[in-house]
Amino acid sequence: MSLHVVMGFGPAGAATARLLAEQGHSVRVVTTSGRRPEPGIEHIALDATDSRRLIEASRGAAAIYSCAAPPYHRWTSEWPPLASSACAAAEAAGAALVMLGNLYGYGPVDGPMTEKLPLVATGPKGRVRAAVWEQARNLHEQGRIKAVEVRASDFFGPGVTDGGHLAARVMPRLLRGKPVTTLGDPDAPHSWSYLPDVARALVEVAGEERAWGRAWHVPTGPALTTREMVDRLAARSGTGPVAVRGLSPAVLGVLSVFSPLIRELKEIRYQFDRPFVVDSSAYEAEFTVRATPVDEQVKATVDWWRERLSGATDV
């Protein structure tokens, strides 16, 4: 089987690397700090913005998966060099560059989001994510690289411990039957991208030449409100209904004084104050990955968190 290089070992990078290893591929993971060995996966410590070293690490790769991300409050300064390095490595290796993207580039929209929407975000994080993809797409059109972007909504599922709105801020309290507080309007419809489906889509498009040169949305189930998701998780956990409260703008304003992360969330608050719905029908019309049924997502997530909180889960 071929060599696949995964940049980053957060939730998406880890899920993608492990899926590739299960399929029998040689997998090399690149992170700043490295990691202890695990079956089928080689871990290398290097700064991925160092294009020379990333090119060396990617030599002979069939695909490079760009799953690394800078700290949230440093996106505007650190995304461009990271993306440029990934493009350089893909060009040198002749590898497919599979970019994990998000939906920030569209900015606020009315109605379900499709890949045909223009990337017209006005906030800095939305603009930088749009620019990263435009750079790769332009190089693809020039014939220099083979690039594809897979766009996901908020991650949900086993392995999602931070950055997910149904993760560390919600699950430990929910499993104890305690009230939970969420960002924005808990009754606004929202699309949740199940992490295993994200990994399966990334791996699928890497081997599909007809997927290259454009962006695709991860196969995602019907939108559910935060309250509906919490109710399902609570029912599965056996803790019964729990109260769900949204953080008010006033509270967020106070918290942002002390937290750089909360401060940065102001730009994308619209994603939780209004419907935020993904249309993944274009992907589903072309490829085989489908969204995992929500009941299976909920079961796997509750089971994983129970194991994690008992100290039995290795992340």
* Residue whose pair of structure tokens reads 């994510």 in the numeric block: 129
111: left (phi over 0), alpha (psi -120 to 50) or beta: left
Instruction: Determine which helix (DSSP H) or strand (DSSP E) holds 235, and give its type and residue range.
Output: helix 226-237
Work out the pLDDT band at 164, boundaries 50, 70, 90: low
Q: Domains, the chain, ranges and CATH?
A: 3-157+193-220+277-291 (3.40.50.720)
Contacts of 116 (CB under 8 A, 6+ apart): none
Work out the pLDDT band at 89, boundaries 50, 70, 90: very high
Mean pLDDT of 231-259: 81
Instruction: From 66, 60, 83, select the one nearest 29 (Cα to Cα).
Output: 66
Whole-number pLDDT of residue 21:
97
Contact indicator for 194, 224 with CB cutoff of 8 Å: no
Instruction: Give the span between the Cα atoms of 17 and 67, in whole angstroms.
Output: 10
Contact indicator for 160, 167 with CB cutoff of 8 Å: yes
DSSP 8-state assignment for residue 125: H
Instruction: Give the span between the Cα atoms of 183 and 273, in whole angstroms.
Output: 8
Tell me the pLDDT tens digit for each residue of 247-290.
766 666 666 666 666 677 778 889 989 999 999 999 999 999 99
Residue 45: phi and psi, rounded to 5, are -95, 115
Work out the pLDDT band at 294, boundaries 50, 70, 90: very high
* Residue whose pair of structure tokens reads 């950055």 in the numeric block: 163
Tell me the pLDDT tens digit for each residue of 9-25.
999 999 999 999 999 99
What's the chain's length in residues?
A: 315
Residue 191: phi and psi, rounded to 5, are -90, 135
